[in-house]
A and B are shown apart, each in its own frame.
Chain A
């Protein structure tokens, strides 16, 4: 089955710095890669996703890149703010008809003022 590795497990940055979280996946058939943000005591919520037919996607301060050849994808957060502090999960899915997501173990991001 699919295996998703996520690094780092914790990440501390100063407000205004950039943060990068990286994930690798094992199943070359995976084609959908969402990122979820989970604040303390809350549910995971989708912040951005990418499909295998594109290499990069941006949404304001958040971007995701995908390298299908190397089977890795990354989340980039620029100009970090204290409210970005949360646990971030990457996930991979083989797509429609195989809609299960395999999650990484999560990255705890702490943004200090």
Chain B
């Protein structure tokens, strides 16, 4: 398996532009998570999906952020319009629902380093 795939790996854009980040989860995983990582705030959960349905988007910082999962193998995180404070590394992760009481490992993609000038 190729693992979680993210694109692009690096994105540099100017303030006000729309940014779209993409993620392909591990095949067969039914949970997908979007995280943002900064030095100041660490790893923050933005939103997660179960079976392509958004479950909790309380971590999405503003209405400028939106996420979709049109099918089991693709998700996007969009920022419109982008601002310099959105500069961060954005990770996508996926996992599988286990039978029983315990969660399973989350596997992270390589991340997208976003710089908004």
Partner of A44, one of B48, B95, B99, B108: B108
Decide if A32 touches B102 in the complex (CB within 8 Å). Answer: yes
Complex interface residues of chain B between 84 and 98 (CB less than 8 A to chain A): 91, 95, 97-98
A44 contact set on B, CB distance < 8 A = 43, 91, 108
Decide if B91 touches A93 in the complex (CB within 8 Å). Answer: no
Interface residues on B, range: 20 to 34
Contact A32 to B43, CB < 8 A, known contacts A43-B108, A43-B110: no
A101 contact set on B, CB distance < 8 A = 45, 103, 106
Decide if B101 touches A31 in the complex (CB within 8 Å). Answer: yes
Is the C-beta of B109 less than 8 angstroms from some C-beta in chain A?
yes
Decide if A100 touches B97 in the complex (CB within 8 Å). Answer: no
Is the C-beta of A7 less than 8 angstroms from some C-beta in chain B?
no
Decide if A96 touches B102 in the complex (CB within 8 Å). Answer: yes
A65-92 vs B, Cβ < 8 Å mask (1 yes, 0 no):
0000000000000000000000001000
Partner of A95, one of B50, B101, B107: B101
B33 contact set on A, CB distance < 8 A = 100
Partner of B56, one of A32, A42, A97, A100: A100
> Residues on A close to B: CB < 8 A?
31-32, 34, 36, 42-46, 49, 51, 89, 93-106
18 further A-B contacts with Cβ under 8 Å, apart from A96-B97, A99-B106, are A31-B101, A32-B102, A32-B103, A43-B91, A43-B109, A46-B106, A51-B102, A94-B103, A96-B101, A96-B102, A97-B97, A99-B95, A99-B104, A100-B48, A100-B56, A101-B103, A103-B42, A106-B42
